[in-house]
Amino acid sequence: MAAVAPPHAPPRRFPVATVPAAVVAAVVIGALGVLALWWQGTGAVTGAAGWLTGAGRITGLLAGYAAPVLLLLMARLPFLEREVGADRLARWHAFGGRYLVALVTVHVLTVVWGYALTDGQGPLGEGVEIVFHFPGMLKAALGTLLMLGTGAVSARAARRRMPYELWFHLHLAAYLAVALAFGHQLATGADLGGGTPGRAVWYVLYLGTAAALGWYRLALPWLRDRRHRLVVAEVRPEGPGVVSVFLTGRRLDRLRAEPGQFFRLQFQAPGLRWAANPYSLSAPPHPGHLRFTVKDLGPHSAAVATLRPGTRVRAEGPYGAFTARLHRRPKVLLLGAGVGITPLRALFETLPGEVTLVQRAGRPEDLLFTRELALIAARRGARVHALTGSRAEVGDLGEALRRLVPDLAGHEVYLCGPGPMTAEAVRSLRAAGVRAGRIHHESFAF
């Protein structure tokens, strides 16, 4: 099945940094508004107990604000997915999650300590008193434990030691934690009492977040599944541990997918139906089929190679800002390694301008799409290079790229690959004179 790029209308373009900066600014302004709620409802703060309980109120409000904001970042809102990018949203979510855990921890400690000083008893006894005798505090304690547990399994060291599918299902506990926290805040939050502006804001924030999650994470994927009826048409070996999966369905042009984007695929087969993993398009989207290339990186991706034609597939997407929308310069370098070559292969076929693709691999047999890339390069007058060997054999990556790509500093760069390679490439490209704003990279560390 040869992938043929359908005609696309020129995408509407914002300056690359405009939307991410606007989103960050909106989040910060919201946090300042939350602090204003505390300021408005607070009189004089006196004594150690007053300062501690004040700190507990502030951190509780900020944690209550951060929780739905973090869920919104991962709600698959189309505008954010397209203009900010799923990988950047995931990084923001992880970064904010660490602060949320810290805020919740400080909130618990300062409130218990402040109340203990006020009541003249020890913190442990005060903590037991609060949990078992204050309204709604048993639910709040459960929510806190779930939140801290979610933070623990999401830590980088823990993530590296568990399959994506296990982490994904454990991470779902965060939704219950946020729901429990919402009830606790309305029941005991001094700044969110009945009739206060804060209470109305909290209802809008939490119910709006729930509506967005319900529509974009549940209802819309179900409706798209009913409309497009995706099935596996072919599973084609591409190399050691690598296969391409071709999906067919109805009215695929209605998906409005772009080269460089990815879908979360949920294969309706034993062992695969309970997780939706992200896979990039490895060819421009075709009105009759979509192509994804999958490398054996775990139980889920390994099982994909055994799929049979006719297997039903639920697909969430398309997602991602790693597309031609980022394109600003006439000269473009596509630099990929491992399974990161998949979105670059689609972009290599469709990006306008003077395009060079460099594929990094440890061994020649690890290179993917060699014949396809050569044919595309010949057809469109582009260049394709293989950079193989160990790090010691290749030497400085920036120097190696300068030998392959004249005027490297004048290129715009699309970069995709494993985390260590991506970090090394960014450092090397910056040292070679490529501006940070011209380096676009996508991570698979969701």
188 within 8 A of 215, measured Cβ to Cβ: no
217 vs 105: CA distance, rounded Å: 29
pLDDT range class, residue 181, cuts 50, 70, 90: confident
178 vs 323: CA distance, rounded Å: 34
Quote the pLDDT of residue 99: 92
Which DSSP string do the residues of 357-374 spell out, in sequence order? EEEEESSGGG--SHHHHH
pLDDT range class, residue 134, cuts 50, 70, 90: confident
Q: What residues contact residue 222 under an 8 Å CB cut-off, 6+ apart?
A: none
Quote the pLDDT of residue 213: 94
* Mean pLDDT (whole number) for 293-298: 83
138 within 8 A of 131, measured Cβ to Cβ: yes
pLDDT range class, residue 13, cuts 50, 70, 90: low
Quote the pLDDT of residue 2: 44
**pLDDT-above-90 percentage for the chain:** 41
113 vs 98: CA distance, rounded Å: 23
**Three-class secondary structure of residue 331 per DSSP:** strand
Other beta carbons within 10 Å of 233? 18
Q: How many helices (H) and strands (E) does the chain have?
A: 17, 11
* Mean pLDDT (whole number) for 361-366: 88
Residue 415, beta-bridge partner list: 335, 441
The three-point CA angle 174-99-417 to 5° equals 80
Q: What are the residue ranges of helices labelled H in 286-418?
A: 299-304, 341-350, 370-380, 391-394, 397-404
For tokens 């999966």, the residue is 245
pLDDT range class, residue 155, cuts 50, 70, 90: confident
Quote the pLDDT of residue 444: 54
Residue 314, beta-bridge partner list: 266
Quote the pLDDT of residue 7: 40
Quote the pLDDT of residue 301: 76
Q: Is the pLDDT of residue 367 over 80?
A: yes
Q: Is the pLDDT of residue 414 over 90?
A: yes
pLDDT range class, residue 328, cuts 50, 70, 90: confident
Residue 290, beta-bridge partner list: 247
Return mean pLDDT, the chain: 86
* Mean pLDDT (whole number) for 109-115: 90
Q: Is the pLDDT of residue 16 over 70?
A: no
Quote the pLDDT of residue 10: 42
- Collect contacts of 212-221 with beta carbons under 8 A, ≥24 apart: 212/72, 212/75, 212/77, 213/71, 213/75, 216/75, 216/76, 216/77, 216/78, 217/75, 217/76, 217/316, 220/76, 221/314, 221/315, 221/316
Q: What residues contact residue 403 under an 8 Å CB cut-off, 6+ apart?
A: none
290 vs 282: CA distance, rounded Å: 9
Quote the pLDDT of residue 344: 95
345 vs 108: CA distance, rounded Å: 50
* Mean pLDDT (whole number) for 151-157: 75
Quote the pLDDT of residue 3: 42
* Mean pLDDT (whole number) for 207-227: 92
- CA-nearest of 280, 294, 301 to 242 is 294
For tokens 């900066």, the residue is 21
**Is the pLDDT higher at 308 or at 240?**
308
Q: Is the pLDDT of residue 105 over 50?
A: yes
396 vs 247: CA distance, rounded Å: 40
207 vs 196: CA distance, rounded Å: 17
pLDDT range class, residue 11, cuts 50, 70, 90: very low
185 vs 191: CA distance, rounded Å: 9
